[in-house]
C-alpha cells in the first residue's frame, strides 16, 4: 500500500521520487512494459531497473503481470489524477531534490556554498508542480490584498512568476500581467497559457535588469529568499524605477521572526543558493526605504507573510 507520508519510511520517498524523476512512471503511464522494453526506452541497467521496479511492486506502486510492469490504480491516483485528494504528482520530484540537497549540509557547512547541480526539464516540472501546490490555498487572499484599492485593469509585474500561480489569478481579477522569469522557465510555461489570458511572458534575469514599464503593482512572490541583502536592495531599487508614482510593491515570503517556518526554510536556501536565506521585517523595511518605498505594512496569510509598500512621491 503506497504511503508517502509515513515518516519512518524515507526510503519509499526516495525510490518513488527517483522513479518519477527518471521517467519510469511517465513511460508506464503510456502503457505496460516488460523489463527489457523499459530498460531500452530509458537506457537503464537491467539489474538496477529490476531491483528498483521490484521495490515499487512491493510498495504497491507497480504490478507485474504476464511479464509486464504497469502502474497500480493507487499510483495512477497519487501521481497523475489532479482531481484526487491524494494527488501528489510531480511535486514529489521537488521533494526528492530537496532531500538530495539537504544531504549536502555537512559539505556546505565547510564551504558556505551549494554544491553544483544540473537541473533537467523533469526537475523544472517538479519545481513548478511544488510551487503550484503551495500556492493553491492562499492565492485568492493574496491577490485580494495586493490589488486592494487599485483600479480594474491595473498593470501588474510578476517577477519570478513563471509558474503562473499568481499571474493567473491576477489576470482573472482583471489585471494586465507581465511575467518576467528565466528563459528556460518561460519556454516551458508559456505553452501553458490559455487563449485570451492577459499574461505576457518576458524572459530575462531580474538580477541583471527588470523589464521597462509603468506598473501599478510589482509582485515578488517567493523570490527574496533566493537572494541576500545586497541582491534584494538592488532588486527593490530596480522595481522602484518601473512603478508608477504611488505604485505598490508586494513581497510574499517567510519573514524571519514571524513565520514559524522561516528558520528551517533558510536551510533549504543555504544548500541551494549562493546568498539566499530568510529575512526579518526590519531588514525588508531597511531595504525598501533605501530603494524609495514607504508606508510599509505586513499581513499574515497561512504562515507566510506579505509585505506591501508604496513608492514615495
Ligand X SMILES: C[S@@+](CC[C@H](N)C(=O)[O-])C[C@H]1O[C@@H](n2cnc3c(N)ncnc32)[C@H](O)[C@@H]1O
Q: From residue 221, give the alpha-carbon distance in Å to each of 250, 252, 283.
A: 8, 5, 17
| From 25-33, 79-87, 190-198, 216-224, span contacting ligand X (CB under 6 A) | 216-224
Is 226 among the residues that bind ligand X (CB under 6 A)?
A: yes
Q: Which of 2, 169, 221, 247 binds ligand X (CB under 6 A)?
A: 221
| Cβ proximity to ligand X, 69 vs 265, nearer residue | 265
Hey, which residues between 72 and 111 contact ligand X (CB under 6 A)?
Answer: none
Per DSSP (E only), the strands in the chain are 62-65, 68-71, 155-159, 176-181, 199-203, 215-221, 243-253, 255-256, 279-280, 293-301, 304-311
Closest CA to 26 of 34, 14, 38: 38
| From 28-36, 112-120, 180-188, 282-290, span contacting ligand X (CB under 6 A) | 180-188
| From 18-26, 74-82, 178-186, 285-293, span contacting ligand X (CB under 6 A) | 178-186
HSE (CB half, 13 Å, CA atoms) of 78? 19
What is the smallest separation between the CB atom of 32 and ligand X, expressed in angstroms?
35
CB contact at 8 A, 308 and 145: yes
Is 223 among the residues that bind ligand X (CB under 6 A)?
A: yes
Residues 210, 221: Cα–Cα separation, whole Å: 15
Is 181 among the residues that bind ligand X (CB under 6 A)?
A: yes
CB contact at 8 A, 42 and 33: no
Is 216 among the residues that bind ligand X (CB under 6 A)?
A: no
| Cβ proximity to ligand X, 89 vs 162, nearer residue | 162
What is the smallest separation between the CB atom of 111 and ligand X, expressed in angstroms?
22
| Cβ proximity to ligand X, 62 vs 239, nearer residue | 239
Burial of 291 by CB count in 10 Å (0-12 exposed, 13-18 middle, 19+ buried)?
Answer: buried
Q: Which of 20, 185, 210, 242 binds ligand X (CB under 6 A)?
A: 185
The answer for 60, left when phi > 0, alpha when psi is -120 to 50, beta otherwise, is left
Beta bridge partners of 300: 305
Mark 137-176 with x for binding to ligand X (rule: CB under 6 A) and - for no binding: -----------------------xxxx-x-----------
| Cβ proximity to ligand X, 101 vs 223, nearer residue | 223
Is 207 among the residues that bind ligand X (CB under 6 A)?
A: yes
| From 63-71, 222-230, 259-267, 303-311, span contacting ligand X (CB under 6 A) | 222-230
Question: In the complex, which residue's CB is closest to ligand X?
Answer: 160
Angle between helices 10-22 and 121-135 (to 10 degrees): 120
CB contact at 8 A, 198 and 171: yes
Residues 308, 299: Cα–Cα separation, whole Å: 8
Is 276 among the residues that bind ligand X (CB under 6 A)?
A: no
Q: Which of 21, 222, 232, 283 binds ligand X (CB under 6 A)?
A: 222
| Cβ proximity to ligand X, 49 vs 156, nearer residue | 156
Binding site for ligand X (CB under 6 A): 131, 135, 160-163, 165, 180-182, 185, 205-207, 221-223, 226
Amino acid at each position: 500500500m503506497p504511503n508517502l507520508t509515513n515518516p519512518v519510511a524515507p526510503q519509499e520517498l526516495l525510490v518513488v521520487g527517483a522513479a518519477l524523476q527518471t521517467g519510469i512512471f511517465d513511460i508506464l503511464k503510456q502503457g505496460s512494459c516488460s523489463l527489457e522494453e523499459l530498460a531500452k526506452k530509458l537506457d537503464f541497467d537491467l539489474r538496477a531497473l529490476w531491483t528498483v521496479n521490484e521495490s515499487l511492486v512491493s510498495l504497491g506502486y507497480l504490478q507485474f503481470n504476464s511479464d509486464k510492469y504497469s502502474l497500480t490504480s493507487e499510483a495512477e491516483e497519487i501521481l497523475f489524477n489532479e482531481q484526487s485528494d491524494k494527488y501528489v504528482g510531480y511535486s514529489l520530484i521537488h521533494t526528492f531534490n530537496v532531500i538530495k540537497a539537504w544531504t549536502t549540509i555537512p559539505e556546505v557547512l565547510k564551504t558556505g556554498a551549494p554544491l553544483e547541480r544540473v537541473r533537467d526539464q523533469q526537475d523544472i516540472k517538479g519545481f513548478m508542480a511544488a510551487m503550484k501546490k503551495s500556492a493553491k490555498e492562499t492565492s485568492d487572499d493574496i491577490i485580494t490584498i495586493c490589488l486592494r484599492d487599485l483600479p480594474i485593469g491595473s498593470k501588474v509585474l510578476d517577477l519570478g512568476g513563471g509558474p503562473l500561480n499568481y499571474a493567473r489569478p491576477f489576470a482573472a481579477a482583471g489585471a494586465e500581467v507581465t511575467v518576467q522569469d528565466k528563459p528556460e522557465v518561460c519556454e516551458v510555461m508559456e505553452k501553458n497559457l490559455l487563449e485570451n489570458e492577459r499574461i505576457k511572458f518576458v524572459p530575462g534575469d531580474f538580477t541583471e535588469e527588470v523589464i521597462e514599464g509603468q506598473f501599478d503593482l510589482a509582485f515578488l512572490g517567493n523570490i527574496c529568499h533566493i537572494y541576500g541583502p545586497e541582491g534584494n536592495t538592488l532588486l527593490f531599487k530596480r522595481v522602484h524605477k518601473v512603478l508608477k508614482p504611488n505604485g505598490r510593491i508586494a513581497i510574499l515570503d517567510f519573514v524571519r521572526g514571524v513565520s514559524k517556518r522561516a528558520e528551517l526554510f533558510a536551510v533549504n536556501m543555504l544548500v541551494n543558493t549562493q546568498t539566499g536565506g530568510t529575512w526579518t521585517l526590519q531588514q525588508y523595511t531597511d531595504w525598501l526605504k533605501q530603494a524609495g518605498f514607504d508606508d510599509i505594512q505586513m499581513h499574515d496569510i497561512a504562515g507566510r507573510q506579505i509585505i506591501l509598500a508604496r513608492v514615495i512621491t
